[in-house]
Amino acid sequence: MNTSLEEQIIKQGMNPEIAAEQINNFKNGFPFLNITGPATPGNGIKVLESSELDKFISTYPKQAASIEVVKFVPASGAASRMFKDLFSFLDGDGDLSKSSFVQKFMNNIEKFAFYDDLDEVLKSRGSSISHALDTKNYKEILAALLLDDGLGYGNLPKGLLRFHSYPDKRRTPAHEHLIEGVQYALGKGNKVKIHFTVSPEHLPKSKAEIDSILPDLSKKTGVAFDISYSTQKKTTDTIAVDSSNEPFLEEDGSILFRPAGHGALLDNLNDISADLIFIKNIDNVVPDRLKEETKNYKMAIGGLLLEIQSKVFNALKTLENSYSKDAVSLAKSVFTNELGAKLPENFDSNSIEYQGAYLKSKLNRPIRVCGMVKNTGEPGGGPFWIKESDGSQSLQILETAQIDLSDPESLAHLNAATHFNPVDLVCGTRNYKGESFDLMEYRDMKTGFITEKSKNGRELKALELPGLWNGAMSGWNTLFVEVPLITFNPVKTVNDLLRDEHQ
């Protein structure tokens, strides 16, 4: 990289060494991972017996009451993609017959939780939803819904949209997450701690929405809330390049840096100090009538993590005293039987000292339990066994882009996969001494993503950091647990709110 580019990068507050490394990633690409097979029930995915589920539902709340628990909710970005088809119609000729998506929206408009709010906007303009429908003025409805002089849903984050209707009120996803927090994230001091990552421009409205809910909810539930926020750090943005892999220059001569995907939130997660951290996306919420199973399985994966973690900690404390045969045998049992990981084939031929040091290194890591749902065709990362460079095998959540689809064996493993990741995680980020891990040390920077984008009509290539639950957690100890499909109800388009699970 030439001196003038370095100076420009520094001037823009970014690190030139990191930028140079990112440019090399564009030039060289990212290697595919060495898949040995999909994780399936009985082979990497644990299926809880009803007795185990009952046990964790009973024991977890008591354990959580004495530790720091945080619910971490990635909620950045506007919801504009939810309304892509509605925006296209708004920009078009207004012919409803050309869009089955908009037809479905209009035919069921009274079922949306934002119906009354939308009707009020139109009435303030001398119209109404029913009048606009009668006169086939569909654009009037969509403009009032999407644009900033109406409800402004096209530029609001998902967390602030009305998702669910109740007899007394209409709730946003942010509201639903607060209620979920009471159900399974009640920790030390009878306190529910929830951390939302939001975009800077959405922070004031997000705080205002949550502040309006908390007094009544706290009084009703008898618990205290500790709500915190963070924004995706500008320093995690990645450099964009043109088709020649040269830095993409804006019209004013500055270099374009772009937000680096949800993997950038590892920085935010690293700042959280807690014994247990639940991670769940902002749009994956359901009405109260369907929350019970989600609550039960959240307590189950939380309880399982605490149970396994205590065994890991015990093995590490034993190894700390000596690499005796008994200590190494215990550590090996925990690593292979409790965590379910696979050691290198020649592991037992090494000295007892080597085995002890190896197992200590492998066990002394952050740990996560990830819920996995049966694959029903929804897009999402999947659970796989990966062969590591040291010959061991680990469990990883992969995106399709990380799999070599031209390799028949890798393709066969992909096609044999039975489950996928709904972003249902619980994490243990402290070691056996109670110290917080530096999570940056456990990500695999060779697992990023390159995507094709455009700006002002010019093509560019963008770089995403290793995904938060993909390569960003590559070096963690991982357990997969099958969870029911009802626990996964994302809202990718506005019409998803018409599904029974959101009514």
For residue 94, pLDDT over 90 is answered with no
386 contacts 393 by C-beta, under 8 angstroms = yes
Distance between CA 109 and CA 23 in Å, rounded? 47
φ, ψ of residue 233 to 5 degrees: the values are -70, 135
Residue 489 to residues 66, 78, 106, 195, 300: CA-CA distances in angstroms? Answer: 31, 19, 22, 21, 19
Question: How is residue 452 written in tokens?
Answer: 């094709």
Average pLDDT over residues 378-390: 84
Distance between CA 345 and CA 392 in Å, rounded? 8
**Crossing angle of helices 115-124/138-146, nearest 10°?**
110
The 10s digit of each residue's pLDDT in 125-153 is: 999 999 999 999 999 999 999 999 999 99
pTM equals 0.94
The 10s digit of each residue's pLDDT in 436-447 is: 999 999 999 999
pLDDT band at 379 (very low <50, low <70, confident <90, very high): low
Q: For the chain, first and last CA: distance in Å? A: 55
The 10s digit of each residue's pLDDT in 290-339 is: 999 999 999 999 999 999 999 999 999 999 988 999 999 999 999 999 99
The 10s digit of each residue's pLDDT in 149-183 is: 999 999 999 999 999 999 989 999 999 999 999 99
Q: Give bridge partners of residue 277 from the DSSP assignment.
A: 70, 427
pLDDT confidence of residue 13: 82
pLDDT band at 380 (very low <50, low <70, confident <90, very high): low
The per-residue DSSP string of 117-133 comes to HHHHHHHHTT--HHHHH
The 10s digit of each residue's pLDDT in 17-62 is: 898 899 999 999 999 999 999 999 999 999 999 999 999 999 999 9
pLDDT band at 87 (very low <50, low <70, confident <90, very high): very high
pLDDT confidence of residue 2: 67
pLDDT confidence of residue 10: 83
Q: Give bridge partners of residue 70 from the DSSP assignment.
A: 277
φ, ψ of residue 177 to 5 degrees: the values are -65, -35
Average pLDDT over residues 339-363: 95
**How would you classify residue 261: left for phi > 0, otherwise alpha for psi between -120 and 50, otherwise beta?**
left
The 10s digit of each residue's pLDDT in 235-286 is: 899 999 998 999 998 888 889 999 888 899 999 999 999 999 999 999 999 9
**Beta-sheet strands, E only, within 19-132:** 35-38, 40-41, 44-46, 69-74
- Longest Cα–Cα distance of the chain, Å, equals 83
The 10s digit of each residue's pLDDT in 208-235 is: 999 999 999 999 999 999 999 999 888 8
Mean model confidence pLDDT for the chain: 93
pLDDT band at 378 (very low <50, low <70, confident <90, very high): low
For residue 501, pLDDT over 70 is answered with yes
Distance between CA 271 and CA 280 in Å, rounded? 17
Residue 305 to residues 113, 157, 302, 475, 483: CA-CA distances in angstroms? Answer: 36, 32, 5, 17, 15
